[in-house]
């Protein structure tokens, strides 16, 4: 009987805090899965307003990458671009940390390439 009460109490605690737990563990990038797969240059054009020079950096990233069997050239270049020492990384992370969920929407095509890669 004591064990049954403890289980019910634990479940009630969890049920009372499900929304709170969901908000703490939410991912700000849910929805990127539906973004179309596009070439890297097109994906970063949507975020050029946040970082001037991103299209040139995307071209440089593509030049540095070679197509291999595991990743497409665009996926490899997306990873390379994210790791380059440019303001691109900071701009993306600022959008990811934003309290406004719409701040990340323009980044969805790039995130699709990055996460798929």
Domain boundaries, given as residue ranges, for the chain: 2-116
Cα gap 89→93, rounded to integer Å: 6
pLDDT value for 73: 92
Cα gap 90→51, rounded to integer Å: 9
Cα gap 62→9, rounded to integer Å: 56
Q: Which residue has the tokens 């197509």?
A: 67
Q: Dihedral through CA 32, CA 104, CA 81, CA 43, nearest 10?
A: 60
Cα gap 38→26, rounded to integer Å: 26
pLDDT value for 103: 87
pLDDT value for 34: 83
- For 105, the enclosing helix (H) or strand (E) is none
Written as tens digits, the pLDDT of the chain (117 aa) is 555 544 444 555 555 555 555 555 555 577 788 888 899 999 999 898 888 889 999 999 999 988 766 889 999 999 999 999 888 888 988 988 888 888 888 999 999 999 888
pLDDT value for 66: 81
pLDDT value for 24: 53
């Amino acid at each position: 009987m004591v064990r049954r009460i403890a289980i019910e109490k634990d479940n009630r605690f969890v049920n009372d805090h499900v929304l709170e737990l969901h908000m703490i563990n939410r991912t700000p990038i849910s929805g990127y899965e539906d973004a179309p797969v596009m070439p890297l240059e097109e994906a970063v054009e949507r975020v050029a307003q946040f970082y001037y020079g991103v299209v040139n950096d995307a071209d440089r990233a593509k030049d540095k990458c070679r197509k291999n069997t595991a990743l497409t050239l665009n996926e490899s270049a997306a990873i390379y671009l994210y790791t380059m020492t440019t303001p691109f990384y900071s701009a993306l992370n600022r959008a990811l940390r934003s309290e406004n969920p719409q701040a990340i929407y323009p980044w969805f095509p790039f995130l699709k390439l990055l996460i798929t890669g």
